[in-house]
């Protein structure tokens, strides 16, 4: 709130050339407490006013007045604002206490829909660590959008079509064993798929065989269709085990194949707009003016390509949901593909195509290299989750063997560790897979946050805190850093949603928790007449921490 008030006052003083939004973006939070709680640098005003930044700061500072501002000072070319700690502390705690579950929420998304294309594992392949990123980033973005008032539709767009399935069908003809597939579906199907790629290096005819099997699948060949449906059914059963561990549900699970009988309409639209051109026997849409290579619509052998299915899917989704945004949570290696899809839709005069956003992310690496199913270099997510849960269970058994609901808490801690290890990184960066780092229960990890929550809840229990008798009138200096972090939560939610980056929440929670731990270490919470007010702050902290973890898809256990 104070940033908005400061921006409003400064923009009024500076004149219409400087909008409130421009001023707001310039406001900083000083790293050193002696420099205040907010700071506005005047250096960017110097050329406009043709005056020294220090002079500008000195002229503006005395004119900034509000109940929230305890003191306004200048330092060089900066205006430093010190907030009224008692006033802000009481106001912040009352905001949380009024409606704990809605603190940090926004309403600008009310009545609007966000569609998320996320997770999207390929059938007949294991759910690897490589698919973790799309799944947990997409889930967190959905939670953030809902926190901002949007209705969300999470679509698990299963990879169940394409030339790779022709290769798998061909591989099954050569090396498939029905009994082994039924016994361990994804392991066996992956094994023959990897073998196919290795064998095709010595026998290139296998590649052509794979193409022929995909063509059979497109032509609804009975044998190809039967095997494909079987592979899909057993894959979805295996995927569901992983989603259950992660605690993630979808509004719609739909494969690429759903659009097979709907693509002709899209191709017809392209023809009517005279956008299709022949290129080496294939059908393409040229995107020269957009500075992009042609978008392939149909291969020379008449088979479809995923661009055609994505075009058809986007049209279908807009007709169904009239979305405000459609977020494609897919790795950055697909950036060109989504640029092409968007521009083809714009050429079809679908203005809503500008609302399609590719939420790219870096790769999950092993030893600095991309994971690859065809090379047999994958790490299975289910195995990692189970190992994390097992290690959490071992820690509980060692440190708190009498703990109730040990299995459930081990799951919350282990799964939370895996999710947070991913989401604490900027989504655009690659993440090096490290089981050791992921399962470390100290430092910048989910267990560190979860333990702080448990510690806070324990204090509330010992102090017999009741929300009905909460006291928001806390007046002590050591509490101020924690109060400020609690106060930053609504703005952090807004920023994370706007930037489509859950790491903003993850990093915020680490700072919030560090402030709590310092307050806990420096203050005797359960002492004297300030006890109830201190416990009220602890309660407020636990509300924000639990909700922040929830946005990331992580549970907060009451005991550890």
pLDDT digits (tens, 9 = 90+) for 317-354: 999 999 999 999 999 999 999 999 999 999 999 999 99
Residues 140 and 200 in one domain: yes
Residues 166 and 268 in one domain: yes
Structure tokens belonging to residue 519: 């307050």
- The least confident of 24-38, 235-249, 293-307 is 293-307
pLDDT of residue 370 exceeding 90, the answer is: no
In this structure, the number of other CB atoms found within 10 A of the CB of residue 47 comes to 8
Residues 179 and 284 in one domain: yes
- Enclosing domain of residue 137: 119-370
pLDDT of residue 376 exceeding 60, the answer is: no
Q: How far apart are the C-alpha atoms of 324 and 356, rounded to whole Å?
A: 9
C-beta separation of 96 from 103 below 8 A? yes
Q: How far apart are the C-alpha atoms of 238 and 184, rounded to whole Å?
A: 10
In a domain, 476, yes or no: yes
pLDDT of residue 523 exceeding 70, the answer is: yes
Report the CATH number that the domain containing residue 27 is assigned in CATH: 3.30.1360.70
Residues 57 and 137 in one domain: no
Q: How far apart are the C-alpha atoms of 290 and 52, rounded to whole Å?
A: 45
In a domain, 388, yes or no: no
Residues 135 and 78 in one domain: no
Residues 143 and 273 in one domain: yes
Beta bridge partners of 284: 277, 296
Residues 464 and 361 in one domain: no
Beta strands (DSSP E) in 433-507 are none
Q: How far apart are the C-alpha atoms of 135 and 117, rounded to whole Å?
A: 10
In a domain, 329, yes or no: yes
Q: Beta strand pairing status for 295-298 and 276-279?
A: unpaired
Q: In this predicted structure, what is the pLDDT of residue 130?
A: 72
pLDDT of residue 447 exceeding 60, the answer is: yes
Residues 185 and 131 in one domain: yes
Q: What are phi and psi of 357, to 5 degrees?
A: -130, 125
Residues 417 and 359 in one domain: no
Tell me what the mean pLDDT of segment 40-50 comes to: 95
Residue 377: pLDDT band with limits 50, 70, 90: low
pLDDT averaged over every residue in the chain: 93
Structure tokens belonging to residue 314: 């986007």
Q: How far apart are the C-alpha atoms of 431 and 433, rounded to whole Å?
A: 6
Residues 46 and 154 in one domain: no
In a domain, 93, yes or no: no
Using CA atoms of 436, 441, 444, 445 in order, give the dihedral in degrees to the nearest 10: 90
Cα 287-289-294 angle, rounded to 5 deg: 15
pLDDT of residue 373 exceeding 70, the answer is: no
In a domain, 111, yes or no: no
Beta bridge partners of 340: none
Domain count, the chain: 3
Beta strands (DSSP E) in 371-474 are 431-432
Out of 314, 338, 370, a domain closes at 370
Report the CATH number that the domain containing residue 457 is assigned in CATH: 1.10.730.10
Q: Beta strand pairing status for 356-359 and 364-366?
A: unpaired
Angle between helical axes of 163-175 and 185-200 (0-180°, round to 10): 100
Query: Distance between terminal CA atoms of the chain?
Result: 36
pLDDT of residue 426 exceeding 70, the answer is: yes
C-beta separation of 196 from 206 below 8 A? yes
In a domain, 105, yes or no: no
Q: In this predicted structure, what is the pLDDT of residue 371?
A: 58
Beta strands (DSSP E) in 119-248 are 151-158
Q: Which of 45, 27, 44 is nearest to 36 (CA)?
A: 27
Residues 360 and 506 in one domain: no
In this structure, the number of other CB atoms found within 10 A of the CB of residue 107 comes to 9
Tell me what the mean pLDDT of segment 144-163 comes to: 94
Q: In this predicted structure, what is the pLDDT of residue 378?
A: 59
Structure tokens belonging to residue 349: 């005069």
Residues 238 and 316 in one domain: yes
Q: How far apart are the C-alpha atoms of 485 and 96, rounded to whole Å?
A: 13
In a domain, 386, yes or no: no
Residue 30: pLDDT band with limits 50, 70, 90: very high
The CA-based diameter of the chain, rounded to the nearest angstrom, is 84
Structure tokens belonging to residue 266: 């899209």
More confident position, 218 or 458: 458
Beta strands (DSSP E) in 1-76 are 38-41, 69-75
Q: In this predicted structure, what is the pLDDT of residue 113?
A: 98
pLDDT of residue 203 exceeding 70, the answer is: yes
Residues in the chain: 560
Return the SS3 of 250. Answer: coil
Out of 370, 402, 422, a domain closes at 370
Per-residue DSSP letter, 188: H
Residues contacting residue 329 through CB under 8 Å, at least 6 positions apart: 116, 117, 118, 119, 134, 137, 138, 141, 359, 361
In a domain, 32, yes or no: yes
Out of 314, 346, 370, a domain closes at 370
């Amino acid at each position: 709130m104070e940033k908005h008030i400061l921006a409003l006052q400064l923009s009024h003083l500076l004149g219409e050339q400087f909008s409130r939004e421009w001023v707001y973006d310039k406001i900083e939070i000083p790293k050193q407490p002696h420099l205040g709680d907010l700071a506005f640098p005047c250096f960017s005003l110097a050329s406009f006013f043709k005056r020294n930044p220090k002079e500008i700061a000195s002229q503006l500072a005395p004119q900034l007045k509000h109940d929230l501002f305890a003191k306004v000072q200048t330092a060089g070319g900066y205006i430093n604002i010190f907030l009224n700690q008692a006033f802000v502390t009481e106001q912040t705690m009352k905001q949380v206490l009024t409606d704990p579950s809605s603190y940090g929420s926004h309403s600008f998304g009310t009545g609007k829909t966000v569609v998320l294309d996320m997770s999207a594992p390929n059938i007949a392949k294991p759910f690897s660590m490589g698919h973790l990123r799309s799944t947990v980033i997409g889930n967190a973005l959905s939670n953030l959008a809902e926190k901002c008032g949007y209705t969300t539709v999470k679509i698990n767009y299963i990879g169940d079509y394409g030339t790779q399935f022709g290769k798998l069908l061909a591989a099954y003809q050569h090396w498939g064993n029905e009994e082994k597939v039924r016994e361990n579906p994804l392991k066996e199907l992956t094994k023959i798929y990897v073998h196919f790629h290795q064998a095709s290096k010595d026998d290139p005819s296998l590649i052509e065989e794979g193409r022929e099997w995909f063509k059979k699948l497109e032509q609804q060949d009975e044998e190809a269709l039967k095997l494909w449906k079987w592979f899909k059914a057993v894959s979805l059963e295996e995927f569901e085990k992983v989603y259950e561990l992660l605690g993630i549900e979808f509004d719609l699970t739909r494969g690429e194949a759903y659009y097979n009988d709907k693509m002709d309409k899209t191709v017809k639209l392209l023809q009517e707009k005279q956008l299709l051109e022949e290129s080496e026997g294939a059908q393409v849409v040229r995107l020269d003016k957009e500075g992009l290579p042609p978008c392939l619509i149909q291969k020379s052998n008449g088979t479809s390509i995923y661009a055609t299915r994505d075009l058809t899917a986007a049209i279908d989704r807009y007709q169904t949901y009239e979305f405000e945004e459609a977020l494609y949570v897919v790795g950055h290696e697909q950036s060109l593909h989504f640029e092409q899809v968007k521009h083809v839709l714009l050429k079809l005069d679908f203005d809503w195509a500008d609302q399609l956003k590719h939420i790219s992310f870096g790769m999950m690496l092993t030893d600095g290299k991309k994971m690859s199913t065809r090379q047999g270099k994958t790490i299975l997510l289910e195995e990692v989750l189970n190992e994390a849960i097992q290690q959490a269970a071992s820690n509980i058994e060692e440190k708190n063997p009498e703990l109730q609901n040990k299995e459930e808490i081990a799951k919350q801690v282990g799964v939370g560790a895996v999710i947070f290890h991913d989401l604490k990184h900027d989504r655009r960066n690659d993440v090096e897979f490290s089981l050791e780092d992921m399962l470390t229960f100290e430092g910048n990890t989910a267990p560190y946050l979860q333990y702080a929550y448990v510690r806070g809840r324990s204090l509330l229990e010992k102090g017999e805190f009741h929300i009905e008798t909460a006291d928001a009138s806390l007046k002590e200096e050591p509490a101020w850093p924690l109060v400020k972090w609690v106060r930053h939560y609504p703005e952090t939610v807004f920023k994370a949603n706007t930037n489509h980056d859950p790491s903003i929440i993850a990093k915020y929670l680490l700072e919030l928790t560090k402030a709590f731990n310092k307050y806990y270490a420096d203050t005797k919470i359960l002492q004297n007449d300030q006890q109830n007010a201190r416990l009220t702050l602890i309660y407020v902290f636990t509300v924000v921490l639990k909700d922040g973890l929830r946005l990331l898809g992580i549970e907060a256990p009451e005991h550890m």
